[in-house]
Amino acid sequence: MKRRSVVNRTKIKKNRIWITVVLFLLLTVLMVADMALSATALLGYAMNTKLSDTVLGLTGVFEEYEKTGSVPASFTGDYFVNDGGNVVDKRGRDTCAKGYSLDYSTGERSGTVKVYSDSDDRVLAMSEEEGLKINLDEVVDALDEEGNKFDIKGLLLPWTVGSDSDQRFDVPVWIARELSDGREVYLKSSVVINATDYVTVDRLLSSLMVVYMVVLLIVIINAVNSILNQKRLIKMFFTDGVTGGRNWSFFLMKGEQRLKKRRNAKRSYAVLDVDVVKYLNFCICHSISEGEKLLCRVYRNIKDTVGRRDMVVRCNSADFAVLMEIRDPDSAREKINSLMKAVESAAGEYSVNFHMGAYLIEGSSDRSARKYIDLEELYNNASTAREALDNTDESGISYFDSKMVEDQRWVNTVSERQQAALDNEEFVVYYQPKYDPRTDTLRGAEALIRWQSPEFGFLTPYKFIPIFENNGFITEIDHYMIAHAARDQKRWLDMGLECVPVSVNVSRTHFAEPDLAEQIRDMVDKEGTPHELIEIELTESAFFDDKKAMLRTVTKLKEYGFAVSMDDFCSGYSSLNSLKDMPLDVLKLDAEFFRGENADQRGRIVVAEAIRLARSLEMRTVAEGVEIKEQVDFLAEQQCDMIQGYYYAKPMPGQDYEQKMKKASGPQQ
Ligand code: C2E
Ligand code: MG
Ligand code: MG
């Protein structure tokens, strides 16, 4: 069956994983930044407080120096005094690095001092340009600006202290103050940090970190979960429920991508439609589960035969679509034949046949043409090729050719034009007379359609009836023909002609309508034609559709007074059984009886027996397609009731048939 997929162009948009990754990274950065800021803010606050204490502790030393010009004996540390360029007094070494101003205030004392780092010893944080950074807010700002110019070892201090309260950390600093005479006194001191000072900070930060870790973990689990779920969903969306392999949507999406993006443009491909013939019958005979097992074997065998990158999917009840690469176009048929063998081997002990339609895509270096590749259309071409095998049940391979494109185009044209043609009465009723071979008298006629198209000329039914049967328009045609035949009959009756029954073909698809008998009755009544002048012809294959419905319709038609005939008897199906069940009036022997090699010997035996059988069942017989005198003589001998064939007359326009009727009072010339 041809595909017109709805989901085929649905692009499955994967949830953007990178969004999750970016969110995750963002959260991590925020978390680290927040922790660093919190840590530095707390540390900075503690350092400033400690430093203020240190400064206050040294205020007495500065005041003493102001008064006496020397440091008090209680101050044993290093110091130096600067009078605006020269060191005028000192103890120890000047290891003063860069500094900054600190506003301090505790109780009544407050003021501004300069605080310098000590370049000899470890410091909290040291900038090459700016020296000590005790205010850790500044450290963070400077870090932002200056990258890693800082030795940030000191920043890690709180984390390495642990809870050992004896552990201490001395940060050496120089505190400088200007005396009233303009000199500057620099005193070396240190900020002492005990482990206990930082345990609280440490805990606070630890718990903050735990919260962040939990949040991070939830985010990670969530992200992983949604990725896995998405993968599962996508897999389900692209999986075939019967074979467990990929499905049609996947075939279209990936296959088309592959054809469009193939690197080696010269490489050829084959698109195949593989069908299990009469799969439904197989399931009825052997169960649905056996049928599905068969499909799985077919799928597996194809998959095992084609290349690793080739694709195969089940796309319809028993249809498979295959896209396979063909390295060497000359070997395409060989490769497809071996694939067919693999498919056939899936039947195992059962007698199953397979049809394969193939469409070959020749390699081409024209890159722009590849942009317009439509895999669905290519598959439909393969299906068209496969449909050419519909009239046989034998396994076979059919290759798509341009004639099929022409045929398809014609199907489309007819389908587009059919309604207008009906409205414009372009369909013409031809009549083919039926004669009694024993007396050569006119006994009936068959109404046969012709299309007198202003566009396409004169068309016989073979050019359009199968198309109407496929697209359902045949029911309109049947109505049209019944109405026209009834109208003609009524007119001829009114003209005083001796009318004989005219048979009209009613398509098998029409028999799905439960009120068909009523429709026919009403149409004939509308024209005012006696029912016995209209006969209904059913093709033999129609008897295989819904027997009960068919029997109901045939019975009703007979009740209404219409004769019913079986057309094309023995044209392909054995319908002896239908003869048993259906109360038919006329049996039309198929023209094939009178053609072919054995038409003379064996054919004659069958025809003679068929006529006898019909007679025993109280049915009349009509032999179709009779062209030569010997056949007429033979049929007359066998008591065949009527002959419809070129020997007597070809189908003719209504006016010609009217003339024939006028002459019908005597035997044919
Ligand atoms: P059919 O109903 O079996 O019609 C008999 C066909 O055999 C007619 O072909 C007729 O022209 C042809 N025929 C009759 N005698 C001879 C002969 O001696 N030699 C040869 N070679 N052919 C002969 P036609 O008119 O082309 O119709 C073909 C088929 O189209 C019909 O087969 C019928 O199945 C279908 N058909 C025709 N008209 C209608 C219609 O109005 N409605 C429906 N549903 N089908 C129609
Ligand atoms: Mg017929
Ligand atoms: Mg026929």
Percent of the chain with pLDDT over 70: 81
* Tokens 């009779």 found at: 626
Q: Which fold has domain 415-655?
A: TIM Barrel (3.20.20)
The answer to whether 558 touches 586, Cβ cutoff 8 Å, is no
- Whether 624 is in the pocket of ligand 1, judged by its Cβ within 6 Å, is yes
Nearest of 643, 562, 577, 645 to residue 613 by alpha carbon: 577
d(CA 99, CA 131): 6
Percent of the chain with pLDDT over 90: 47
Q: What is the model's pLDDT at position 445?
A: 98
Whether the predicted pLDDT of 520 surpasses 60: yes
Q: What is the model's pLDDT at position 666?
A: 47
- Ligand 2 centroid to 537 CA: how many Å? 6
Collapsing DSSP to helix, strand or coil, 276 comes out as strand
* Tokens 């949604």 found at: 226
- Ligand 1 centroid to 430 CA: how many Å? 10
Which pairing describes strands 534-539 and 502-506: parallel, antiparallel, or unpaired? parallel
Whether the predicted pLDDT of 523 surpasses 50: yes
Range of lowest pLDDT (278-287, 404-413, 646-655) = 404-413
**DSSP letter assigned to residue 272:** E
d(CA 454, CA 304): 55
d(CA 40, CA 205): 11
* Tokens 């070809």 found at: 650
Written as one letter, the residue type at 411 is V
Whether the predicted pLDDT of 396 surpasses 90: yes
DSSP letter string, 367-432: HHHHTT--HHHHHHHHHHHHHTTTT--S-EEEE--HHHHHHHHHHHHHHHHHHHHHHTT-EEEEEE
Q: What is the model's pLDDT at position 38?
A: 72
- Encode 374-397: b = buried (16+ Cβ within 10 Å), e = exposed: ebbebbbbbbbbbbbbeeeeebbb
Radius of gyration over alpha carbons of the chain, in Å? 51
| Chain centre distance of CA 286 | 31
Name the residue with the closest Cα to ligand 1, atom 42. Answer: 505
C-alpha to C-alpha distances, 350 to 282, 297, 314, 346, nearest whole angstrom = 9, 12, 20, 9
> CB-side exposure of 260: number of CA atoms within 13 Å?
11
Range of lowest pLDDT (25-39, 55-69, 601-615) = 25-39
- Whether 628 is in the pocket of ligand 1, judged by its Cβ within 6 Å, is no
- Whether 465 is in the pocket of ligand 1, judged by its Cβ within 6 Å, is yes
Using the Cα atoms of residue 147, residue 150, residue 155 and residue 157 in order, give the sign of their dihedral. positive
β strands within 76-167, DSSP E:
79-82, 87-91, 96-106, 109-118, 126-127, 131-132
Whether the predicted pLDDT of 420 surpasses 90: yes
- Ligand 3 centroid to 173 CA: how many Å? 118
Q: What is the mean pLDDT of residues 539-544?
A: 66
Q: Give pLDDT tens digits for 3-39.
A: 544 444 445 555 566 777 787 788 778 877 777 677 6
Q: What is the model's pLDDT at position 49?
A: 74
Range of lowest pLDDT (91-105, 159-173, 598-612) = 159-173
431 or 512: whose pLDDT is higher? 431
Domain with CATH 3.30.70.270 in the chain: 248-400
d(CA 591, CA 571): 8
Q: Please, is 116 exposed, middle or buried when counting C-beta atoms within 10 Å of its C-beta (0-12, 13-18, 19+)? A: buried
Range of lowest pLDDT (18-22, 279-283, 326-330, 502-506) = 18-22
Name the residue with the closest Cα to ligand 1, atom 11. Answer: 651
Domain with CATH 3.20.20.450 in the chain: 415-655
Name the residue with the closest Cα to ligand 1, atom 41. Answer: 449
199 or 522: whose pLDDT is higher? 522
Q: What is the model's pLDDT at position 519?
A: 96
**DSSP letter assigned to residue 183:** -
Give φ, ψ of 548 to 5 degrees: -65, -45
174 or 294: whose pLDDT is higher? 294
Tell whether domain 248-400 is in CATH 3.30.70.270: yes
Q: What is the model's pLDDT at position 570?
A: 74
Whether the predicted pLDDT of 577 surpasses 50: yes
pTM, two decimals, is 0.58
Q: What is the mean pLDDT of residues 555-574?
A: 86
Q: What is the model's pLDDT at position 280?
A: 92
- Whether 243 is in the pocket of ligand 1, judged by its Cβ within 6 Å, is no
The answer to whether 358 touches 387, Cβ cutoff 8 Å, is no
Q: What is the mean pLDDT of residues 449-456?
A: 96
- Whether 255 is in the pocket of ligand 1, judged by its Cβ within 6 Å, is no
Whether the predicted pLDDT of 150 surpasses 70: no
Q: Of 110-114, 129-133, 455-459, 536-540, where does the model show the most confidence?
A: 455-459
d(CA 102, CA 104): 6
Q: What is the model's pLDDT at position 424?
A: 96
β strands within 454-562, DSSP E:
457-459, 502-506, 534-539
- Whether 102 is in the pocket of ligand 1, judged by its Cβ within 6 Å, is no
Q: What is the mean pLDDT of the chain?
A: 84
DSSP letter string, 448-477: EEEEEETTTEEE-GGGTHHHHHHHSTHHHH
Whether the predicted pLDDT of 101 surpasses 60: yes
460 or 371: whose pLDDT is higher? 460
- Ligand 3 centroid to 591 CA: how many Å? 7
- Whether 268 is in the pocket of ligand 1, judged by its Cβ within 6 Å, is no
168, β-bridge pairs:
194
- Residue 510 alpha carbon, nearest atom of ligand 1: 44
- Ligand 3 centroid to 476 CA: how many Å? 20
Q: What is the model's pLDDT at position 55?
A: 84
- Whether 433 is in the pocket of ligand 1, judged by its Cβ within 6 Å, is no
Q: Give pLDDT tens digits for 333-372.
A: 999 999 999 999 999 999 999 999 999 988 766 666 667 7
Whether the predicted pLDDT of 155 surpasses 60: no
Strand order in 311-316's β-sheet? 311-316, 319-326, 268-276, 354-361, 396-399
* Tokens 């950074």 found at: 133
- Whether 646 is in the pocket of ligand 1, judged by its Cβ within 6 Å, is yes
- Whether 432 is in the pocket of ligand 1, judged by its Cβ within 6 Å, is yes
d(CA 587, CA 614): 7
Name the residue with the closest Cα to ligand 1, atom 13. Answer: 625
